Every structure is written in C-alpha cells, then in structure tokens.
Amino acid sequence: GTRFSDPEAEIAVRHRKLIEDIFNHLWLTDNYGDAEDELLDIISNGSKFTWYEKSLFVSAVTLSTFRVWDKKKVFRMISFYEKGEARIRERALAGLVLVLHYYNNRLTLHPDLLSHLQELFSSREAREHLRITIMQTLRSRETERIGRKLQDEILPKVAHLRPRIEEKLDLDKLLPEDLIEGKNPDWSDMFEESEDIYKTMEELSKLQMEGADVYMSAFSNLKNFDFFRIFSNWFMPFYPDHEAIEDIFRDDVLNEGTNEVAEALYKTPFICNSDKYSLVLNLKHLPDAQKKMMLKVFRMELEGLEQMKDQEIDLDPNLTFRTNITQYLQDLYRFFKLSPYKNEFEDQFRGRLDIQNSYFFRKIFDSKEDIMTLADYYFGKDFYTEALDIYIGIAESVTDDPQLFEKTGYCYQQEGDWEMALKMYNMSDILERKVWTLKKKGYCLRRLKRYDEALLHYLDSEAIEPENMHTIAMIGHCYLDMKDYESALKYYFKVEYEDPDNFRVLKPIAWCYFATGKFEQSKKYWDKLASGKLTAHDLINMGHLALCTGERADAIDLYRRSISEGDISGSSFLEILDEDRELLVRLGIDPDDIPIISDFLLYNLDQE
C-alpha cells in the first residue's frame, strides 16, 4: 500500500481519486465480468493497496450486490473472508450475512454456492465468526430503543389488557418492583440483576461491552460535515494517517496531542469508524478549554487501552474480530439511517431482521445449540415474538426440557396468549414442580377469569413458600376477583403487617371494607391515602364512599376531579360507574339516582 506524508501533494490527490474511482466502479457495476475479476484479483492478492483501501472495496462489492444480485460478487465476499486478513474479512462476512438474508431465496437456485458455504462454515473458527456476526447484526435492533432511553429516560412499555379491578386499585403496584414476579431467576445469570435491562446507566455500560450501539443518538447530529458528503467516506475505516487528522495538526491547541488523539481513537473498541471521524471533525469547533479537556481524556483512554489489551485477548481469542465486526455493522447502520444517500437503498436494518427464518441460516446454523443461542438472545432482549417462533420449533421435537417450556410459556404470556402460556406452563410443571411455574399458571388463570383455579395454584405456592409476600398478595387478589372480600382482607392485612410502609396495599383494603359496607373503616384507609398522589380511580372510589355515606355533594366533587384531574374521559367514567352500579345498589344507593348524578356531573363539566 502507498502512504503519503503530504496529503495535498499531487500524487496523493491522484491516488485518492484512483481509490474513489475503483470504489464507484465496483459498486455501480451490475454484473461483474473479466475486467472486474482481474481488478479484484489485484486488490485481493497484491500489495498495491492498504488494508483500509481493501476494506473500502469490500464495502463497494457489498453495496453492488444489494443493487443487483450476482453470484460472482457473493463468491468474492467469501474469498475476501477466506483470505483471513484482519479488518477486511470482518467486512466481507458482515456483507455476506446481510446479502444472504436480503436475497433469502436465491441460495436455493445456486447449490454450488450453498455447498461452498456449508464447507466453509464447517470449521470451528468460521462457525464462531458467523455466530458473532449474526448476533451482532441482531443487536442493531436494540439501537433505537437504547436511543430513546438516553434521550428520554423513559422505557416504552407494552400495555396489557387488565381487569378493571386491577386498574382501579393499582394491584400490580401493591408490592415493590423487586418483589414482582417476572422471568424465572433460575434461567441464567443474565436475568439476575433486574427485569428492566435499561434501568440504570450501569446496564447501559454492560450493553456497550456486549457490543450494543449506545452512541447512535449522540453522534447522529455530527454527520453534516463535508467529509460525509463523499459517498465512500461512510464506509471509510478510521486510521491515524487519514487526511482528516490534518485539521488537528493545524490547530494551535490540539496539534501537540494529535498523535495521541489519532492513536487513542484508532484503538478504542467502543466507537465505530464513522463516529470516530465525526469526533475528529468536531474537535476543531470546540472552545479551547474543551479541547484541552479532550486531550486529557484521550491520553487517559490510551493508557487504559494499553493496560487492558493483552488481558482481554487472553480472555476472548475472538475479541479483535468481535470489535471489528461491531464497528463495521454500526458504520453500515449509520449509512442506512443517516446518510444523504439512504433513500437510494433499501434499509437493511429496517423491520424484524429475522435472520433465523432465512434459508441461509437454516442450512448453515442447523444445530439445536446454535438455534437455542439465538432464541435465548431474543428472549434476553425482550423480543418475545422472535424468541417464540424459535422456541415453538424446538419444542415440537423436545419432551423433557422444563426450562424450554417455561420460556415458551413466558413468551406466550408476553404476547397475551394466556391459553397457550398456560399449556406450556403445565408441560413444565409436569416435568419439574416449581413455585415460579405455579404462580405463572395462577397468573394466566386470573387473566382467563378462572379465579377459583388461579386461587388453588397460589395456595399451593403459599404452602411451599409461606412467607412470600407476592404470593400472599396474589391470593388476596384472587379472593377480591371472586368478591370474597372478607378472605381478601385477611391476606391484605398480612402484607400490611409485614410491610407497614407499603401504602399501595391500603387501596384494596379500603375497597374491601367499602364493598362489605364497613364505610367507617374504609374511610380511615382512604384518609391515610389522601395525602399522596391519587389516581382517577382512587377519586371515583372515594366518591362512591361519599355517596354511600350520604355526602352527595362531596361525591359529585370527587367524581368531577377524577375527570378533570385524572387521566380518564367522561365516557370512561360512565363505563366505570356502570360496572360499579350493582355494588352501589347493593350498598343502598337508589338505582334511579345514578343516571341523575352522572347527567348532572357531565353537564357541569361541559359548562366549565
């Protein structure tokens, strides 16, 4: 390869023009012929081009294949991988995986290509490289979710339909979050820390170490430099001698640390090539004080990288491959999402990226272990639909794996298919009886409104773990579902006794007292709750109590507040009032008064 000390020298400019011309020729040629074969032989076998120039050409071949399928191009990507040159083979394999997924059915028409791939990936190293590449490609699906976490600190939550009584009394919030039953803690260590994998910044750091793209949102606004108007630069590997570094050399503050900046960026594994260029190009626009601070940061980074390098490679022999593949896939992600040329291509990272359903995957990754690894990844990242697809296929031929049935059941549960979830939990329970499974069966039965059956499962759980507050609370919920308020109170009192600071349990206690006509006791509990934040349902329930104790004006005011201060509409209020009508009448309210009260309330709201 050729390096030039002066990037502005005529020979350097001509060489860059040559590289650009080759890149454009390779990606814009529909079908490769003898000329392209000869050119790619020179690129692949000779020493005329540097590693970063060869890397660029591999990207061009990949883009060209997305434009027009050509078996020759695919064989070229295979050849670049087989050559084994670091930083080049990673690009070739990433392109190969994306192309074979994109052209899912083409492989069925080319048995010679399939045979070559099967032979290639029969070796342990190549198979592990393929596994790393597929897993890292799938991690791109997390990028937008991580971006929302960083931007908003709000996790999108899937809202499941719940019985109104739960919403009215915040039953799902009765216990602290760390006591709420989620995934089975026996499954693996990855679930031990927390249910919400984006809950803390420490978890974001863990995700970064796994290869998750945590910088996409931070760097998305730094892609407007002239550098990124050149098409090929979106695929340019970062290297210390690139002419973009010259801007730092000419900076009064940064020039003394240019080599350290370039070296630290080149070596850091956590930032992709595209973002490294963004960082360099943005440095010169910073105030002097920030430039000096950044220099210190880069020097510290360089020292840290040197200390951990050898140790990490000993722990993970595929670390370099993993780092290179991660950075390149993140470069591709930025091209398809952010580049001014993105509309000229079909976004390879849009949609489900269900690589596990591709013909290529099924023919190459055909062992149960390979498939289960992928399913467990989906499961661990809460992509339950994709995990379920795979678990169902495995479960068809497996009869003795309780953990598989547990996970399959949990996926069905997350999809809201309570019947199938219950079926899978039953299969697991037959093989291995666990409290966790019993409680999940109880949960599904409650959702199916089979409250008496649900209660039996929770009582069985209590017999095994009598001090488990979650189980005790759920037994209370079952009795509440069955309108056995006296029995429900006994269990809610246990929760209150064990956790006297838990104000959430006061709501169902207040409701049970109200439903049994013990208005004075109910009021005592609502008075305790009144100092905190009240939901629309709380205000309605307090309104019911006021109505039943003859305080009609107070009742109407509480009903009004439930709509004006709460998060429900007038029509939702009417639905709730209609659901509670039978109970109100049983407690002494004249049925003819209920529509009068609702009409008066809504009329006054309209006048406000």
Q: Taking 60 as the threshold, does the pLDDT of residue 313 lie above it?
A: no
Per-residue pLDDT band at 156 (split at 50, 70, 90) = very low
Structure tokens at 219: 């760097």
Mean pLDDT of the chain: 86
Q: Taking 50 as the threshold, does the pLDDT of residue 175 lie above it?
A: yes
CA atoms within 13 A on the CB side of 412: 22
pLDDT at 397: 87
Cα gap 326→536, rounded to integer Å: 48
The three-state secondary structure class of 55 is helix
Cα gap 472→52, rounded to integer Å: 63
- Between 151 and 159, whose confidence is greater? 151
Residue with tokens 């009144």: 530
Per-residue pLDDT band at 294 (split at 50, 70, 90) = confident
Per-residue pLDDT band at 46 (split at 50, 70, 90) = confident
Contact present, 383 and 141 (Cβ < 8 Å): yes
- Please choose, from the candidates 158, 43, 212, 76, the residue with its C-alpha nearest in 3D space to the C-alpha of residue 416: 158
- Please choose, from the candidates 262, 278, 273, the residue with its C-alpha nearest in 3D space to the C-alpha of residue 235: 273
Cα gap 484→489, rounded to integer Å: 9
pLDDT at 82: 95
Q: Taking 70 as the threshold, does the pLDDT of residue 202 lie above it?
A: no
CA distances from 453 to 234, 457, 459, 482 (A): 60, 7, 10, 11
Cα gap 82→79, rounded to integer Å: 5
Per-residue pLDDT band at 217 (split at 50, 70, 90) = confident
Average pLDDT over residues 465-476: 94
Cα gap 136→349, rounded to integer Å: 12
Length of the chain: 608
Any idea which of 253-262, 305-314, 406-415, 510-519 has the lowest mean pLDDT?
A: 305-314
Average pLDDT over residues 504-528: 94
Average pLDDT over residues 433-453: 96
pLDDT at 473: 94
Cα gap 280→263, rounded to integer Å: 12
CA atoms within 13 A on the CB side of 188: 9
Cα gap 419→399, rounded to integer Å: 19
Cα gap 287→481, rounded to integer Å: 64
pLDDT at 186: 62
Residue with tokens 């959702």: 447
Q: Taking 80 as the threshold, does the pLDDT of residue 147 lie above it?
A: no
Structure tokens at 53: 């120039």
pLDDT at 292: 82
Helices 435-447 and 451-464, packing angle to 10 deg = 160
Average pLDDT over residues 440-462: 96
Contact present, 392 and 408 (Cβ < 8 Å): yes
Residue with tokens 């080759």: 22
Contact present, 348 and 98 (Cβ < 8 Å): yes
pLDDT at 570: 85
Any idea which of 66-70, 116-120, 294-298 has the lowest mean pLDDT?
A: 294-298
Over its C-alpha atoms, the chain yields an Rg (Å, rounded) of 31
pLDDT at 246: 78
Residue 365's CB is within 10 A of a number of other CB atoms, namely 20
Cα gap 161→156, rounded to integer Å: 16
Average pLDDT over residues 272-290: 88
Amino acid at 184: N
pLDDT at 155: 33
pLDDT at 160: 35
Q: Taking 80 as the threshold, does the pLDDT of residue 5 lie above it?
A: no
Cα gap 410→444, rounded to integer Å: 10
Q: Taking 60 as the threshold, does the pLDDT of residue 209 lie above it?
A: yes
DSSP element (H, E) containing 554: helix 552-564
Report the b/e string of 281-315 with b at 16+ CB within 10 A: bebeeeeeeebeebbeebeebbeebeeeeeeeeee
Residue with tokens 């991988």: 81
Cα gap 1→11, rounded to integer Å: 14
Q: Taking 80 as the threshold, does the pLDDT of residue 466 lie above it?
A: yes
Cα gap 334→338, rounded to integer Å: 5
Q: Taking 80 as the threshold, does the pLDDT of residue 142 lie above it?
A: yes
Give residue-wise pLDDT tens across range 478-501: 999 999 999 999 999 999 999 888
Cα gap 275→281, rounded to integer Å: 10
Contact present, 163 and 353 (Cβ < 8 Å): no
Q: Which of 167-181, 307-321, 324-338 has the highest mean pLDDT?
A: 324-338
Q: Taking 80 as the threshold, does the pLDDT of residue 564 lie above it?
A: yes
Residue 608's CB is within 10 A of a number of other CB atoms, namely 6
Structure tokens at 18: 């040559």
CA distances from 152 to 155, 333, 483 (A): 8, 22, 41
DSSP 566: S
Q: Taking 70 as the threshold, does the pLDDT of residue 314 lie above it?
A: no
Contact present, 65 and 30 (Cβ < 8 Å): no
- Between 356 and 167, whose confidence is greater? 356
Average pLDDT over residues 213-240: 91
DSSP collapsed to 3 states, 586-598? HCCCCCCHHHHHH
| Percent of the chain whose pLDDT exceeds 90 | 56
Per-residue pLDDT band at 244 (split at 50, 70, 90) = confident
Cα gap 56→18, rounded to integer Å: 12
Average pLDDT over residues 369-393: 90
- Between 101 and 5, whose confidence is greater? 101
- Please choose, from the candidates 102, 183, 167, the residue with its C-alpha nearest in 3D space to the C-alpha of residue 411: 183
pTM above 0.95, yes or no: no
Per-residue pLDDT band at 7 (split at 50, 70, 90) = low
